[in-house]
Structure 1
Amino acid sequence: MAYFKKKESHQDSDADNRDVPFCGRERHLAAVKRNFKDGRQIGLISGMPGVGKTRLAKEVAFQMSVECENQNIKLKVNTFNLSKFTSTNLIIDTICASMLQQNQTTVSLKPENLTAALQRLNLEEDFHLFICDNADTILDDDRLRTELLDFISKIVEKTRNVLFLVTSRRRFRLAREYRLFFDVELSPLTPDEALDLLAAIATDVPLQIHGAEITKMCGYLPLALVIAGVELQRGEDGYTPEELIELLRKNVLESPLSAESYSRSEQVSHVLKSAIGKLTDVIKSHFAALNYIPGSFGTSAAAAIAGKQSPAHAKADVIRPLRERSLLEFDSSQQRFDIHPLMRDLVQQSLGQFVDVGITRQRFCVFFADVLKKIGLAMNSDASRGLQDLTTEIKNIEKMMLEAVNCADEDTHG
């Protein structure tokens, strides 16, 4: 059995949107694919921040897409960033609408209708896979966790055609469906894997002398290694290996932590700070403005928030400079950008003085109020599509509704 429709090639003509090279993790990759093929339907990828959980899920998607195409099996994939949700109802309704291809989502509230629809789904060749990314917020709330996991259990009890892959910093066990559940825990890369990843990014940089020390100072974490590799590859605009090591050592010495308490996450922070520090003041102001958007966003949102004339201008002047340094993440399935949670904290701490909060707030509210209006109109013609759009934008819309009261011109967001 295969599971994924083919996604865009890694050799996309838009260099801004190419995935980070995938190095190591062959054992973990094989384990996820094997468990799905063996009939398990719920998988967990766990591990510390920056260890590459989402990247592994994306690689699973890519490799399974090839198998799917070869076997002419259709599978619809949906990815949800659960860190953007404070309620499970919207995510459950969206899953139902997508899975059952319904314009009416009330089926999720009627167990007998849901059961009948899933039985029909079992007779079809189509498959669905839902990637539930960054599930920590949901899992840390007893009520939300119970609601979501009970719903997932109900689905897998009734159909073999639906798969779930969850990423989370913390581990959990789904005892009720233990025969259909598996988990894969990620640790930092091995020294050899870390050096391979760094070399795959910094392709023009000699790493024979300093590569091992750089990877060690990055804690062997993929997030830090990617940022470091990009900085090395940038040549005169970035750092030499010697300069990067000196900077990282300096940051370690300036840290109030002892060597014993100096965690890998803090090492990541120092590597990320090195990349932020290299930005021009103009790009810093754009980065701080984008960080004002709590959820993922497209180029239109970036243009509005950064005050650019068009998405093309935003892409050239805002998105591309940040993507070149791997400071923005890109979701190719939704064609949207996001900022890693660790990076968000650093941007807020380091670049707060570069953003005009009043102007940024007003731009934010005007843009997402318009988004909400368009979603409302879409609900009348295509409820399923409108619901998916609402799911994607819910965190941004929630902030817009809270921030709108602080805008100077009430008419702009009425």
Structure 2
Amino acid sequence: MTRAIKVRHVLAVLVTTLVLAPPSARADAAPALGPFALAPSPTWTGTWEGAASGTTPALPGASIRNIVHTSVGGTAARVRISNRLGTRPLQLGAVTLALQEPGAPRSPKAVAGSMRTATFGGARTVTIPAGKDLVTDPVYLPIPADANLLVSVHTPADSGPATYHRSAIQANFVAPKGNRTAEESGTAYTTAIGNWYYVTGVDVLGTSAAGSVVALGDSITDGTGSAFSANHRWPDRLADRLKALPPNRRLGVLNAGVSGNRLLLEGRGPSALVRFDADVLSRTGVRVVIVMEGINDLKGTPEQTRTAAFEDAYRRIVSRAHARGIRVIGATLTPYGGHGAYTPAREAVRQRVNAVIRTRGLFDAVVDFDAVVRDPARPSRILPAYDPGDHLHFNDAGMKAMADRIDLAELAPWTL
């Protein structure tokens, strides 16, 4: 038998063995590959989100430097630019991405050599239709976890109302005149603002995470009460905990909190039910969503008092998530005794809604934020150590206590 025939014979035997072996045998044999096993392929994962909360007057001719914070890293990034709430086409003159100078969370200065120009289908300029989002081409730049990125956007003309995130709890900057997006020094960015303009998401390409978790909520999730430009919101604190996990259990954390948001009705921005597709289902690599919505429905105007309405809304969210294979964790509504909107009648509604969340089996799991932040002596109030003074939101200690309450095993049980 010639050498060529021998080789063909061996290959034929190998192929026949692989094809005819039962599935369990082939699976059991996989570890025998040893050093020849393939490394995980890089995938896109969401690392940051700033959900659109409304519109504000545009800044024609200006450049806006948005500072956003990553939860997981990668070898490249892509940026979501939104005109979802706009009424006219949005003209983008330039978009850039860079790393912020370390140790200066309130500075528009970039790390030298990190500035990259983003493109859209290879073009540096683009027009986004009203009501739409657009994602950049991959931007190849090593992106660390737990780092600040500078996403700079130049809008050369008046494109009408700008889609933005109102309460960023982060210093961002405006260069009033001209395309300054590629400027590393940041000296042209002379005006500080507290909003994110147009930028609503960042994805990264890598192997450091198994997907992402979305925190869907209102101002408590958005970070009101936490330190400015410090990334101490409870979703940020959750990301800090997840960093210690191995990549197969680590998740990017996407903050879909909107101050003033409501579960059932439009408040500040579309309701949670209305925005669920855009802010949760359309995000990259979502495996889990934590739902903390409803406090503004029971304390706002018009107020919602029917427990059944809350239950129905939660069921609808769970159904939509499950249809996409997404796990849903329900969060109890936290106390607000002492706040101007508090009444005993509204407190009774909160207690009934929390009972629904805890006991009806609506969710795949429950995180009891109420239990960890309430004052044991006065359960309708926040523990004083967690209260920034308004009796509704949470300071840094309260945000950390909430994040620490989350059972990490419930976020990714499929890996255990």
Give the TM-score range, shorter chain: under 0.3
Give TM-score scaled by structure 1 length.
0.25
Which has the larger Rg?
2
TM-score, normalised to structure 2's length? Answer: 0.25
The structure richer in strand per residue is 2
